[in-house]
Structure 1
Amino acid sequence: MDDKLMLMIPGPTPVPEQVLRALAKHPIGHRSGDFGKVIAEVTAGLKWLHQTQNDVLTLAASGTGAMEAGIINFLSPGDRVLVGNNGKFGERWAKVCQAYSYAVEEVKAEWGKPLEPEEFRTKLEADTNKEIKAVIVTHSETSTGVLNDLQTISRYVNAHGALMIVDAVTSLGATSVPMDEWGLDVIGSGSQKGFMLPPGLGFVAVSAKAWEAYATAKSPRFYLDLGKYRKETAKNSSPFTPPVNMFFGLQVALQMMQKEGLDAIFARHHRHMRATRAAMKALGLPLFTSDAVGSPAITAVAPVDVDAEQIRSIMRKRFDIALAGGQDHLSGKIFRVGHLGFVSDRDILTAVGALEATLQELGYQNATLGAGTTAAAQVLTQS
């Protein structure tokens, strides 16, 4: 049957019908007063989601573009930076920093394990000359399903005085990322995750401390010069031609999120994480990360007695359900179940039921048929 694809990956994520309708509207002039009203509403909604009074800027870019902008606007060639690396995206931010000639030092952890906050504290306290200018951490490491302890790391960074730059691409909208309360200086994210939109928009939130660093930063920038976006956003405009229809969709998506409420959004994502993890355990499928550090956005599974890619293939071909695979050295070794954005309890039960049928087709005998669905349902009905 056509048009029944169900996305259970960490991005792109499902898009609500009313957002799709907004995306299909006829464009209007991006310098018009009507579009200025859209920008004003969207900007206010973004500040609400980031739990901040600081600037939140919108770019026509992916999450990587948002993060690159969030790095280069506040640093100069030769600056010393600490980058947390416990997965594909922490690794990526180190490469971005190297491309701009920053002096990169990595705090590493094995893929599937969390970053150790005390390692950051040790390095920051040893930096008595305050040479470390920024610390860059991925909050929810999409490649492994690990949620790093951003709050504790940020506390150590604030005590030192360096900038706290955060990849919140899969955590924003899935779990609380209170920018002002935690003292976060730069937050990058993307539209195709918790925002319930297609890919195309990147968001960068910037603190007053980061703007002070911007004034002296010397990294090259033009299109990604956030000073231009700050100036124009204050006038409910944009420095370059924005994707007008994506703003229409963002406007509706934020309205939906505000109607649901932050606490309810976060509770839903945590409920889906617990239900998914309970189902995998009941089916005898080992989880790649411990419960203590699981991400509310995505669950990584490391099957032993059944092939991960065969699971993904049958789920896609027979049930039109897309699961994500492993990246780099984890390719073929894990599969990842996304429960991020516009995902409901019914979606979790559907995906688990299809997975059980898939395991049965593959001759998997390590669990009783129906055990996964029962375990997930118990979590969903008790929450």
Structure 2
Amino acid sequence: MKKSYLLSPGPTPVPERVLLAMAQPVIHHRTPQFSKIFAEAAEKLKTLFHTKNDIIILSSSGTGAMESAVANCFAKGEKVLVVNAGKFGERWGKIAEAFDLKVTWMNITWGECANPADVKAALDADPEIKCVLIQATESSTTVKHPIKEIAEITKSRDVLFIVDGITGVGVFDIPMDDWGVDILICGSQKAMMLPPGLAFIALNDRAWARADKVKNTNFYFNLKRERKNLKDKTTAFTPAVSLIYGLREALLMMEEETYPAVFARHVALGKAVRAGTSALGLKPVTKHLSEAMTGVFLPEAVNGKKFVKVLRDDFGVTFAGGQDSWEGKIIRIAHLGYFGEFDMVIAMSSIEMALDKFGHPVKFGAGVGAAQEILRDRFEVK
């Protein structure tokens, strides 16, 4: 028997409580029973997003919510600024171009974060730019962007600030209304502790005002239609009923832990992973650290693609490797969502053993011990 461990930044493990909630018999989505569950989940999401605005729940991946933000708020030919610091920043630009928007690319070296001064300079240079599109965490590089600081720049202008928080919401605090984020997006398969299949999007009054002026040619991702249905505690089309069951349970679990404790756990687990990988001589890919995941460069003699494959197929531990120019060079270790202290110990132990198998000199226990030193204070024995 080989036990499997999922330590990728998405999908992430799903708690047993959530799995059991989703295992309940499927009910019809046009019933008072479903409306009650749906409304409870939608209301709890508002607390997580720190917003008074409605949260639209879509049956799609997070990319569906990204597309809906673009399709509903901009007309063909309008200009948008895309902060491109990795694969998912690039995705923003590709979506915008698919809807015939004029994209101004702010290309950032992988491993670096957006500089708010550069964003301001780009907006000053072109007053026709209607929006800034960015990630909270750029998952491909593990970089955390300065969302609060950029929101300070956009909220005083006629420029929407749209944040892909798929690897952010539920990981660390993003108070949407207080910061002035106009549209905030999330997906189900990361910090939300659910399987893939749901996306969440919140628009503030500025964003809805734009959406009301734009003729939306997108049939399925029509946010005005979804907002109207939300008032009746339902969706425009058939929702993922079982995932909504799971969503309500996952949000209840986070409330029971409390959001400050959830965020603090992510911080502590991240510190443990960085201590462990540092003790093994693995260098971080960025100094702009996210609470969601840690990326490290592997030794030059180690083939990263094979390394990740051996961990998955031989050891039963799934991490994420690198993409594009970082393919075969890095490993990404998740610590968001349904992860605890001993998951990080397993992560360090498996990396030590894999490095040894690849002939890299390793002192067994170095990474594990360094992680434990960070995590020991997380436990109070009564």
Q: Shared fold (TM-score greater than 0.5)?
A: yes
Instruction: Give me the whole-angstrom Cα distance separating, in 2, the residues matched to 1:117 and 1:108.
Output: 14
Residues 235-281 of structure 1: CA distance to partner in whole angstroms, max 9, x if unpaired? 11111010111101111001001111110111111111111111111
Within-5 A mapping of 1:1-383: 1=1, 4-127=3-126, 130-290=127-287, 293-305=288-300, 306-365=302-361, 367-382=362-377
Instruction: Give me the whole-angstrom Cα distance separating, in 2, the residues matched to 1:354 and 1:330.
Output: 21
The amino acid of 2:358's aligned partner reads: L
Instruction: Give me the whole-angstrom Cα distance separating, in 1, the residues matched to 2:91 and 2:326.
Output: 16
Residues 163-205 of structure 1: CA distance to partner in whole angstroms, max 9, x if unpaired? 1101000111111111011111111111001100000001111
What is the CA-CA distance between 1:108 and the residue it aligns to?
1.7
Contact kept? 1:70, 1:187, Cα under 8 Å: no
What is the CA-CA distance between 1:31 and the residue it aligns to?
0.7
What is the CA-CA distance between 1:313 and the residue it aligns to?
2.2
Q: Report SS of the residue matched to 1:267.
A: helix
Instruction: Give me the whole-angstrom Cα distance separating, in 2, the residues matched to 1:270 and 1:112.
Output: 19
Instruction: Give me the whole-angstrom Cα distance separating, in 1, the residues matched to 2:111 and 2:216.
Output: 33
Indicate the RMSD between aligned Cα atoms, in angstroms.
1.2
The amino acid of 2:76's aligned partner reads: P
Instruction: Give me the whole-angstrom Cα distance separating, in 1, the residues matched to 2:94 and 2:266.
Output: 31
The amino acid of 1:378's aligned partner reads: E
Q: Report SS of the residue matched to 2:73.
A: coil
Instruction: Give me the whole-angstrom Cα distance separating, in 2, the residues matched to 1:187 and 1:94.
Output: 17
Contact kept? 1:9, 1:338, Cα under 8 Å: yes
Instruction: Give me the whole-angstrom Cα distance separating, in 1, the residues matched to 2:346 and 2:123.
Output: 47
Instruction: Give me the whole-angstrom Cα distance separating, in 2, the residues matched to 1:118 and 1:343.
Output: 36
What is the CA-CA distance between 1:219 and the residue it aligns to?
4.4
| 4+ long deviations beyond 3 Å | none
The amino acid of 1:117's aligned partner reads: P
Contact kept? 2:188, 2:199, Cα under 8 Å: yes
Structure 1 unaligned residues grouped into runs of 5+: none
Q: Report SS of the residue matched to 1:294.
A: coil
Contact kept? 1:300, 1:334, Cα under 8 Å: yes
Instruction: Give me the whole-angstrom Cα distance separating, in 1, the residues matched to 2:280 and 2:376.
Output: 19
Instruction: Give me the whole-angstrom Cα distance separating, in 1, the residues matched to 2:303 and 2:325.
Output: 15
In the superposition, the TM-score normalised over structure 1's length comes to 0.96
Over the matched positions of the two proteins, sequence identity in percent amounts to 41
What is the number of residues matched between the two proteins?
377
In the superposition, the TM-score normalised over structure 2's length comes to 0.96
Instruction: Give me the whole-angstrom Cα distance separating, in 1, the residues matched to 2:122 and 2:215.
Output: 25
